[in-house]
Structures are given as structure tokens and as C-alpha cells.
Amino acid sequence: MSERRRHLSAEASAFLAARFGTVTGVPLTLEELANIMGTTREHVRVLERRFLREAQEIAAS
């Protein structure tokens, strides 16, 4: 990738907003997100780690 990414992907942004309640003021639990997404809590944990890492990399650039 020749150009550094400056913004979170739409998927990452929506996920983190829901997880931490930045839009609604009500954070969702892993279980709630898993139910909404039709997946497991473990998969939600994996996504959370990936998206937080993505956000940290963007913030550090």
C-alpha cells in the first residue's frame, strides 16, 4: 500500500460506534453485537481487536 489510510473503513467505524456507544450513548455487549451480526462472541472479539488495531495505526500515522 503506497498511500497510508487516513480513515477507518465504514465497517470498522460502524462496528466500533456500536460496540462503544459513541453514537447512541449505549455501548453494546459482545453478546448483543454477536446476535445482531448473526455470529459468535468470539468472532466479535476478533473483529474488535482488528478494528482497534486499524484505528491505532491510523492515529499513529
Q: Rounded CA gap, 24 and 30, in Å?
A: 16
Confidence of residue 54 (pLDDT cuts 50, 70, 90): very high
Question: Is 42 part of any domain?
Answer: yes
Q: Rounded CA gap, 5 and 53, in Å?
A: 13
Q: What percent of the chain has pLDDT over 90?
A: 85
Q: Which three cell numbers stand for residue 60?
A: 499513529
Question: Is 27 part of any domain?
Answer: yes
Which pLDDT belongs to residue 1? 35
How many domains, the chain? 1
Q: Rounded CA gap, 34 and 45, in Å?
A: 9
Which pLDDT belongs to residue 61? 83
Q: Rounded CA gap, 31 and 6, in Å?
A: 30
Q: What is the pLDDT of residues 18-45, one digit of tens each?
A: 999 999 999 999 999 999 999 999 999 9
pTM: 0.85
State the residue range of the domain holding 45.
10-60
CATH code of the domain covering residue 53: 1.10.10.10
